[in-house]
Structure 1
């Protein structure tokens, strides 16, 4: 279980998440990811970051089993702060971030890619928020950056997923490629971006963030308040109690719906 960093091309840093079996991150995983992205953005030699993942899918959100093992709310508070830190690290990264998404991208995964600057997706990629099936709320802020408003709401209420091709049609995915070409295609886009002047890229990133119509950090924190309300009211525990004993099986089922 790790978050690793590499530099396969000049000016390009790849941050890779590897938390088997389905890249559902525990509290420490979200903070490790945030630290790695921030460090890459601060590096003066980096002009573009690629966010990638090992394994079957890009990200399955938070580690629900970690929440279930905690008799109190420490894990919930930790993962909420950890997710907020990781999402903000991607959004505030001083250089552009390209997300390379293969397989399932669920829950917190949508939070990550929704804050990225560009998305390259494999043809097997699916995106969705199964939050209502997990006793939680959140990341609608980020899904709304990927699909139109009414589609976002329908996906959110039903816990259904959208395919990479559907997101490409909406303009939020740059390219859809075969799975075995995913990292190469993401690196090609990152390399094209990294060919620009590093100072100008940093200015461009700050300028584009500054003209965003929605403050993604404040919006996401507002959503999180309802997650806490669901937990304090007991509904979250009731819903999570029905979460399958096999996380990988549950994730696969949701990704196919």
Structure 2
């Protein structure tokens, strides 16, 4: 259980998250993930990182039970900072990051894939921000990198999810594959990237980040200020108390891909 790394072939580092039962990460998990991704990017032998997960889904966001057990604010502060570090680690990784997404990708999962360089998803993958149903805010910054502005707003306000096929239609998912083929297809894309010159691919990553129209770290931290305000006001606890974890919540109504 935790975050593990492997080198399945030359030039590729595989970072795998495994926090049963649903990959809802505790505070330490977000920092472990950030450290693993940053270390992979620093290694001069690597030219691409594949971010994957074991279990039912890719990521169910923050461990709500950890937050609920805390009578103060240390858990929510830890989650805020840990998420910010993990999301930034993916975005700032010195080499491209390919996310291999199977099953649910919710909350903090959107922060990870929204900051990735490419996404390969399984047929059963669903993406969404159920934050308003969990007494939280945040990661609209990253959802806006996956879908157009007005769709992002509708998804955010309703807590609906979108399918991998929908995101493929919007161009934010590279390929949609059978679940059994997910990791192999993500590695295939990583292999193609890793064939490039190591120095040049790092320069390319820095150059592309440099022309990004949105400063994702600053934008997300701005959102997190409102998350903390919701906690100080008591509204976050009121909403969280109606959420009963015990597995990933069933995805709300899903927007289907446009014909």
- The interval holding the TM-score normalised by the smaller chain is over 0.9
2:160 matched residue in structure 1: 160
The answer as to 2:78 corresponding to 1:78 is yes
Structure 1 residues 256 and 2, CA gap change in structure 2 (3 angstroms)? farther
Structure 2: distance between partners of 1:228 and 1:93: 27
Structure 1: distance between partners of 2:85 and 2:151: 27
Q: Structure 1: where are the runs of 5+ without partners?
A: none
Cα offsets for 1:22-77 (capped at 9, x unmatched): 00000000000000000000000000000000000000000000000000000000
Instruction: Tell me by how many angstroms 1:10 deviates.
Output: 1.1
Structure 1 residues 157 and 256, CA gap change in structure 2 (3 angstroms)? closer
The answer as to 2:250 corresponding to 1:253 is yes
Cα offsets for 1:7-33 (capped at 9, x unmatched): 111100000000000000000000000
Structure 1 residues 149 and 120, CA gap change in structure 2 (3 angstroms)? same
Provide the secondary structure at the position in 2 that maps to 1:71.
coil
Contact persistence 2:159–2:252 (CA under 8 A): no
Contact persistence 1:104–1:255 (CA under 8 A): no
* Number of residue pairs the alignment of both structures matches: 254
Contact persistence 1:126–1:255 (CA under 8 A): no
2:198 matched residue in structure 1: 198
2:48 matched residue in structure 1: 48
Structure 2: distance between partners of 1:115 and 1:245: 26
1:138 matched residue in structure 2: 138
2:188 matched residue in structure 1: 188
Structure 2: distance between partners of 1:141 and 1:198: 30
Instruction: Tell me by how many angstroms 1:245 deviates.
Output: 4.5
5 Å-filtered alignment, 1:192-231, equals 192-231=192-231
Provide the secondary structure at the position in 1 that maps to 2:236.
helix
Structure 2: distance between partners of 1:245 and 1:144: 27
Provide the secondary structure at the position in 1 that maps to 2:135.
coil
Cα offsets for 1:182-240 (capped at 9, x unmatched): 00000000000000000000000000000000000000000000001100100000000
2:257 matched residue in structure 1: none
5 Å-filtered alignment, 1:28-47, equals 28-47=28-47
Give TM-score, length-normalised by structure 2: 0.97
Structure 1: distance between partners of 2:46 and 2:226: 37
Provide the secondary structure at the position in 2 that maps to 1:8.
strand
5 Å-filtered alignment, 1:79-158, equals 79-158=79-158
Instruction: Tell me by how many angstroms 1:2 deviates.
Output: 1.1
Provide the secondary structure at the position in 1 that maps to 2:112.
helix
Structure 1 residues 30 and 255, CA gap change in structure 2 (3 angstroms)? farther
